[in-house]
Amino acid sequence: QVQLVESGGGLVQAGGSLRLSCAASGRTFSSFGMGWFRRAPGKEREFVTAITWSGGSTAYADSVKGRFTISRDNTKNTVYLQMNSLKAEDTAVYYCAESGRGRYRLIVTTDYDYWGQGTQVTVSS
């Protein structure tokens, strides 16, 4: 069973930074990539960023470009999300996810088969 274990969420003031981690276990890296999504209270889950395992190609939602950086450590089976210049509107539950077989877009939820439990990020203003 694939497991994605997230850490690093918490409470931070506007303008501050947080670094989220997502450690994968129970599998080899056969997927195309990993992504981060978020869901604010009363809102639908939305795409944040994604990265491919082999080449490290990245994609970002317009709302986080220049502020968030996704990275991966293949030796640790771990992906990271560095969040800088945080805003109140970044408050949400953040989920990491692993893409499914034959899925290469990575910007839609339907491309992912496995999801972490989510970690709360709260930005106070």
pLDDT (average), residues 43-62: 95
Amino acid letter at 56? G
pLDDT at 55 over 90: no
pLDDT at 32 over 80: yes
Q: Which residue has the higher pLDDT, 26 or 68?
A: 68
Pairing of strands 46-52, 58-60: antiparallel
Query: Which of 42, 53, 55, 57 lies closest to 93 in space, CA to CA?
Result: 42
The mean of the pLDDT values for the chain is 93
Q: What is the dihedral of CA 13, 19, 23, 29, to 10 degrees?
A: 130
pLDDT (average), residues 34-40: 97
pLDDT at 54 over 60: yes
Q: Render the burial of 98-110: b for 16+ CB within 10 Å, e for the rest.
A: bbeeebeebeeee
Q: Which two tokens stand for residue 122?
A: 């709260």
Q: How confident is the model at residue 75, as a pLDDT?
A: 87
